Chains A and B, each alone.
Chain A
Amino acid sequence: MKHIKTINMGALKNSIAKPGCKECANSCQSACKTSCTVANLECENR
């Protein structure tokens, strides 16, 4: 494409194929404790 460069091919939609194991960390367990950010957690089932 000449006008658009896609840097993410819909990883969110594609992750629907994952099992949804819920083994990942809870956001407040890392550093935040005051502000919920979920997108910066790491997947335990890559």
Chain B
Amino acid sequence: MKLHKFKQMEMNIVIDVNSGAIHVVDDIVYDVLDYYKFKNLDEIVSDFKNRYTEEQIKEAYDEIKQLEEEGLLYTYDPYKNIVLNDNGPSYIKAMCLNIAHDCNLKCKYCFASEGDYKGERKLMSPEVGKRAVDFVIENAGPRKNVEIDLFGGEPLMNFKTVKEIVEYARKREKETGKNIRFTITTNATLLNDEIMEFIDENMGNVVLSIDGRKEVNDKIRIRYDGTGTFDDILPKIKTMVEKRKDGKQYYVRGTFTRENLDFYNDVMMLADEGFKEISIEPVVLEDKHPLSLREEDLDTIFEQYDKLAEEIVNRQKQGKGFKFYHFNIDVNGGPCVYKRISGCGAGYEYVAVTPDGDIYPCHQFVGNEEFKLGNVFDGLSNYELIKTFKNGHIYNKPKCMECWARFYCSGGCQANNYSFNKDIHIPYELGCQMMKKRVECAIAIKAKLMEE
């Protein structure tokens, strides 16, 4: 597929898939594009004679032709050989550290089986954590930027290890010249003044979980006694966010499920609370789970994304804008093509480490023994699997090669692909549908704001 066209917010948008060029076109061009490659000008004029004048069609046709000649429409993919010929080494430079395989909540959709990843409840020791820091530094090769995400379960159940890891990493940073960026993902229940101070000072990004409206959050994000967390976490999240000054990043992040297909209201609730960096993401659960999203929910989900896109434009114009994570596409920049064709990096640039130091391709594979890549003490062992992940890019995913969004999503989430299709190369279809809708919305927002 070389072109993708869609209508949104009263605009006709055309994406040239391979060059990344984006055009806003009038109705005449939008219609002519359907036939441009299959019919000659006379035939097109005749097909549309009841709708447009011959002169209009001729002009539109010439403009399309000009853009084609300039390499901005109907371009070919020149990138394939770059990735296929890349036999160089890969470097692990990002790591998800599972600080705690334990959690003080039992959220109903938890992919980590309420924190224990279907194994023993366990906390990471400072020794394992420090060894993991050394492991990622040793394996990052020439990469200067190293990322470590302090994750769980709930990492703040093991704050002692968090502190020791950060302190150790700062020392190693100086010795090695690396730039280590920390992120922490927390359910916010254990935040207090000391912890918030520490997070603000040391974390490049803090991800704070809340699902939106109280009735939504408290049905799902619950404690062991069944009570909801909203009243406890909202004030803590606000205090944490208020500390993030001078462009320091945070994300207030929730999940939507079948129980809140009207998640637009949850995003708006968070925006109205004053949060500027918001992410509400679709839950990923097997079909039979009562909270799972299904094919029949897609129309509603798409309506919600459309509504959200329009409101983001309105608020931006009123100077009250906020960022919605999945709509943050910089149409004139963003990552280079080398990144976009190499996938998410799981299994060869990015790994997850358990409290025992076992290494998996990403946090979603943790606990699935077949996917164990090694251990931070003994190093990597499963090189065959690492190669499989490295080669798990769009050019080895036939469905992606037919999809216009391949350079935006980069082949989707390998873990989702595996859990739905038992093959990282076959995309998780429901995820694809939502991804494509979000990319359209993101581009439409940018086009609309540029238009005005």
A residues engaging B (CB < 8 A)? 1-13, 15-16, 18, 20, 22-46
Q: A36 contacts B344, CB within 8 Å?
A: yes
Given the known inter-chain contacts A7-B331, A12-B18, A39-B334, please indicate yes or no for A31 contacting B59, CB distance below 8 A: no
Measured between beta carbons, the chain B residues less than 8 angstroms from A5 are 23-25, 451
Q: A43 contacts B411, CB within 8 Å?
A: no
Instruction: Tell which of A13, A24, A29 touches B183, judged by Cβ atoms closer than 8 Å.
Output: A29
Distance (Å) between the CB of B132 and the closest chain A CB? 15
Measured between beta carbons, the chain B residues less than 8 angstroms from A18 are 336-338
Given the known inter-chain contacts A7-B23, A10-B19, please indicate yes or no for A35 contacting B284, CB distance below 8 A: yes
A4 to B195, CA, bound (A): 53
Q: Is B412 interfacial (CB-CB < 8 Å)?
A: yes
Identity of the chain B residue whose Cβ is nearest the Cβ of A8 in the assembled complex: B22
Identity of the chain B residue whose Cβ is nearest the Cβ of A1 in the assembled complex: B63
Measured between beta carbons, the chain B residues less than 8 angstroms from A11 are 20, 331-334
Measured between beta carbons, the chain A residues less than 8 angstroms from B346 are 28
The prevalent SS among residues of A at the interface is loop
Q: A10 contacts B71, CB within 8 Å?
A: yes
A11 to B330, CA, bound (A): 10
Number of interface residues of B (CB under 8 A): 92
Given the known inter-chain contacts A36-B411, A36-B412, A39-B408, please indicate yes or no for A6 contacting B72, CB distance below 8 A: yes
B residues engaging A (CB < 8 A)? 16, 18-26, 28-29, 59-60, 63-64, 66-67, 71-72, 75, 78-79, 82, 91, 93-94, 96, 111, 143-145, 147, 149, 151, 181, 183, 185, 205, 207, 251, 253, 255, 279, 281-284, 325-326, 328-340, 342-346, 349-350, 362-364, 407-414, 416, 431, 434-435, 438-439, 442, 446-447, 450-451
A40 to B330, CA, bound (A): 7
A23 to B71, CA, bound (A): 29
Please give 4 more A-B residue pairs, beta carbons under 8 A apart, in addition to A6-B23, A42-B330: A10-B19, A13-B18, A36-B344, A36-B411
The 10 closest A-B pairs by CB, nearest first: A12-B20, A20-B338, A10-B19, A38-B410, A15-B336, A8-B22, A26-B94, A39-B408, A31-B251, A13-B19
